[in-house]
């Protein structure tokens, strides 16, 4: 089965010449890197890419702060990792939970060297979150706005580190977002024309735009931000989807899918490789640079979304 056109992204690649590719694994891209003394926060450690990233980064010496929906889930994951980990529960669909989790982390840690956002959901049945100033489709709330709130609360810890990185797991499915406007500001709850995959792309476009805004706002500081496309991976990300195309790809896309160790490679590279420390505002895929296109490179749209996100989450943000 050929991949559908929407998954043939074709963005221009810009080589960073590190010798890695889409078949590289997270262990391979971090081989020889000593992360001793670094504290790295990873979301979504209960399974999939988050769990593999935690395992590999802890193996390289980092103290990994692991986050997932429930403490039982996080503790189980942390207990299976060799290395130093600290578990924290956080329900990204609930901003109150994000605030409580972030406050607990700020009480325990004085700085963070990396924040790696692996947690996310893909193409579920239409669900609306009512916690913010306006009702929001759950993928937009979890994949985009939750990370906006979490990073806001963790920014003091990032700025307290000698150098720090934000590594945002996005997806080149951002091309599935609304073609004309990019961000559907008048339909954020997707009460009109809901399509699970389009809404997923919408939320991932939000992450891409947040990345370029963070990079711009953090110029001249010790903190960088970059976005990552892991690729088409064999995970349980879309386990509850009702979207036909996603079901089809999950069932028949095996030959084109990467393993979880391969899928975690690009994000571990961006989070840990010494040569990438000064890069910011970039997009990575296949363990290499990949140019963002269309709406994902629109700084005016990014600025508008930043303002909207600040309004939506106003009750849950701290002053920077």
Domain ranges of the chain: 19-316
Number of other residues whose CB lies within 10 A of the CB of residue 131? 18
Residue 193 has pLDDT above 90, yes or no: yes
CA distances from 289 to 74, 116, 232 (A): 32, 18, 17
- Region 67-73: mean pLDDT is 96
pLDDT at 231: 83
CA nearest to 163, candidates 113, 216, 226, 109: 113
* C-alpha–C-alpha distance, residues 175 and 177, integer Å: 5
Question: Which residue in 222, 240, 194, 217 sits closest to 305, CA to CA?
Answer: 217
Closest CA to 168 of 316, 271, 301: 271
* Residues annotated as catalytic (active site), given as ranges: 194
Determine contact, residues 157/109, Cβ cutoff 8 Å.
Answer: yes
pLDDT reported for residue 8: 38
- Using 50, 70 and 90 to split pLDDT, how confident is the model at 256? low
Query: Which residues touch 208 (CB under 8 Å, ≥6 apart)?
Result: 170, 174, 227, 283, 292, 296
User: What pLDDT is stored for residue 246 in this prediction?
Assistant: 53
Q: What is the average pLDDT across 104-127?
A: 96
- The pLDDT tens digits for 14-58 are 567 799 999 999 999 999 999 999 999 999 999 999 999 999 999
The dihedral sign for the CA sequence 132, 101, 81, 21: positive
117, β-bridge pairs: 43, 168
End-to-end CA distance of the chain: 49
Kindly report the pTM of this predicted structure: 0.90
d(CA 231, CA 77): 23
pLDDT at residue number 255: 52
- Residues 253 and 306: their CA atoms lie apart, in Å, by 35
For 208, the 3-state DSSP assignment is helix
| Interval 268-310: pLDDT, tens | 999 999 999 999 999 999 999 999 999 999 999 999 999 999 9
Q: What is the pLDDT of residue 37?
A: 98
Asked whether the beta carbons of 208 and 292 are under 8 A apart, the reply is: yes
pLDDT digits (tens, 9 = 90+) for 135-156: 999 999 999 999 999 999 999 9
pLDDT value at residue 13: 53
**Class of domain 19-316 (CATH, top level):** alpha beta
Read off the pLDDT of each residue in 51-67 and give the average, rounded to a whole number.
98
**Residues ≥6 apart with Cβ < 8 Å to 318:** 152, 153
């Amino acid at each position: 089965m050929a991949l559908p056109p929407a998954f043939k992204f074709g963005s221009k690649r810009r080589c960073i010449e590190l010798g890695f590719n889409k078949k590289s694994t997270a262990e391979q891209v971090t081989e020889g890197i000593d992360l001793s003394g670094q504290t790295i926060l990873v979301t979504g450690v209960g399974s999939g890419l988050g769990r593999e990233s935690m395992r590999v980064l802890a193996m390289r010496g980092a103290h990994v702060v692991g986050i997932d929906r429930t403490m039982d889930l996080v503790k189980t994951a942390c207990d299976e990792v060799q290395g130093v980990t600290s578990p924290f529960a956080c329900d990204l669909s609930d901003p109150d939970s994000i605030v409580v989790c972030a406050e607990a982390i700020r009480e325990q840690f004085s700085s963070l060297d990396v924040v790696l956002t692996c947690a996310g959901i893909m193409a579920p049945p239409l669900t609306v979150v009512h916690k913010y100033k306006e009702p929001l489709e759950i993928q937009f709330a979890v994949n985009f706005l939750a990370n906006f709130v979490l990073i806001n609360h963790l920014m003091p810890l990032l700025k307290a580190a000698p150098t720090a990185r934000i590594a945002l797991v996005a997806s080149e499915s951002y091309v599935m977002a609304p073609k004309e406007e990019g961000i559907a500001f008048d339909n954020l709850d997707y009460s009109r024309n809901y399509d699970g995959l389009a809404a997923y792309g919408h939320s991932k476009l939000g992450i891409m735009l947040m990345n370029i805004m963070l990079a711009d706002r953090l110029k001249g500081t010790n903190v960088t931000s970059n976005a990552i496309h892991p690729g088409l991976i064999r995970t349980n990300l879309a386990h509850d989807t009702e979207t036909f195309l996603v079901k089809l790809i999950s069932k028949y896309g095996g030959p084109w899918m990467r393993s979880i160790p391969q899928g975690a490679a690009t994000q571990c590279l961006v989070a840990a490789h010494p040569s990438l420390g000064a890069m910011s505002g970039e997009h990575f895929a296949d363990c290499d640079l990949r140019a963002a296109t269309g709406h994902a490179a629109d700084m005016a749209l990014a600025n508008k979304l930043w303002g909207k996100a600040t309004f939506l989450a106003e009750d849950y943000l701290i002053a920077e």
